[in-house]
Amino acid sequence: MDTLSRDSEAATFCVAALYRFTPFADFAALRDPLDRVCRDNGIRGTLLLAHEGINGTIAGSDAGIAAVLDHIRALPDCADLDVKFSRASAMPFHRMKVRLKREIVTMGEPEVDPLAVVGTYVEPQDWNALIADPDTIVIDTRNDYEVAVGTFEGAIDPKTATFRDFPAWFRAERDRLMAESAAAAAGRTPKVAMFCTGGIRCEKSTAFLKQEGIDEVYHLKGGILKYLETVPEDESLWRGECFVFDQRVTIGHGLVEGSHVLCHACRRPVNAEDVASPLYEEGVCCPACHAERTDEQRASYRERHRQEMLAATRGVAHVGAVRAD
């Protein structure tokens, strides 16, 4: 298996982020066999199945991940499954879930079909030149709390709470973005370049823009994960860290584990400055969510956190630990 090599033997778990857009005739029938092969191989994480395909992130031993990927690649039209590998020093998931969904990445635009039309893929090594071009509008398609942790230099932050908000944001801002671009000022048609964590959101966002009549649409192949793995830090235009949806919270260049922790009340990433704030309490709240929660809710979180700490001292997993997934 072509996993990411690491010098540190402490990074014992293989993490595989994967997706494939393909029409499954009966995706519900795929769930139980997939769940079984994951559990038989000690794999944890989340996999989503829908009529449009499969998406998710899983972790475990190299051999276990290889067995699961072999199973997925044997599914209809999944031989070319898109997979990004990284490493983790501790198991980044609490349990295994295989879920049936309407979409493998929720945009809420049923007519958008990445299999019918999609933007132009840009290899990580060619990305810098594209986004440095003044004729290019660069858009981060991720959620606001992800962008706050890190993004590409000069990228536009739509400040969306969920990916569902992206179509409405673009429709509202399209004319302004196009008119204010450097390309428009020079009488040229601007290019639009978009990126996301692993590439799957851009499959839909580029298809959406093409459907909206934007001709020159590009997206980063393999997403931020592939860029951080491929492009040397001294050549990188990435600033900050990249949020990932597991217990590592963030990763940096070379896909090494980052410096953020997770607020278990709101699931937002928390940096060192946030931890030093009087509004931060481990397991209870952070500066971003303190005003969003009541005293009663914080009391409940505080008791749950206390029970988890007691369970940890006994060397057992508290039932509340699974909430992080």
- Of 174-178, 248-252, 263-267, least confident by mean pLDDT is 263-267
Contact of 220 with 206, CB cutoff 8 Å: no
318: pLDDT confidence band, cut at 50, 70 and 90? low
- Cα 96 to Cα 34, 58, 69, 104, 155, distances in angstroms: 11, 8, 15, 17, 35
Which residues lie closer than 8 Å to 75 by C-beta, 6 or more apart?
24, 30, 54
Q: Does residue 198 have a pLDDT over 90?
A: yes
Stretch 210-219: mean pLDDT: 96
Whole-model pTM: value is 0.89
Question: What is the tens place of the pLDDT at every residue in 43-96?
Answer: 999 999 999 999 999 999 999 999 999 999 999 999 999 999 999 999 999 999
Q: Residue 8: is its pLDDT beyond 60?
A: no
pLDDT in tens, 153-197: 999 999 999 999 999 999 999 999 999 998 888 999 999 999 999
Average pLDDT across the chain, whole number: 93
Q: How confident is the model at residue 316 (pLDDT cuts 50, 70, 90)?
A: low
- Spatial CA neighbour of 281 closest among 122, 289, 33: 289
Distance CA 131, CA 152 (A): 9
User: At 60, which helix (H) or strand (E)?
Assistant: strand 53-60
CA dihedral in degrees (160, 162, 164, 170; nearest 10)? 20
- Average of per-residue pLDDT across 301-310: 90
Percent of the chain whose pLDDT exceeds 90: 86
The rounded distance, in Å, linking the Cα atoms of 201 and 196 is: 6
Under 8 Å between Cβ of 31 and 100: yes
Coil/strand/helix, residue 292 = helix
The span from the CA of 185 to the CA of 168, in Å, is 25
3-class SS of residue 238: strand
Tokens in use for 185? 């000022």
- Please tell me the predicted confidence (pLDDT) of residue 11: 60
Nearest CA-CA partner of 96 in 131, 57, 49, 130:
57
Pick the closest to residue 34 from 83, 78, 82, 71 (CA basis): 71
User: Which residues does the annotation mark as catalytic?
Assistant: 196
- Contact criterion met (CB below 8 Å) for 217 and 194: yes
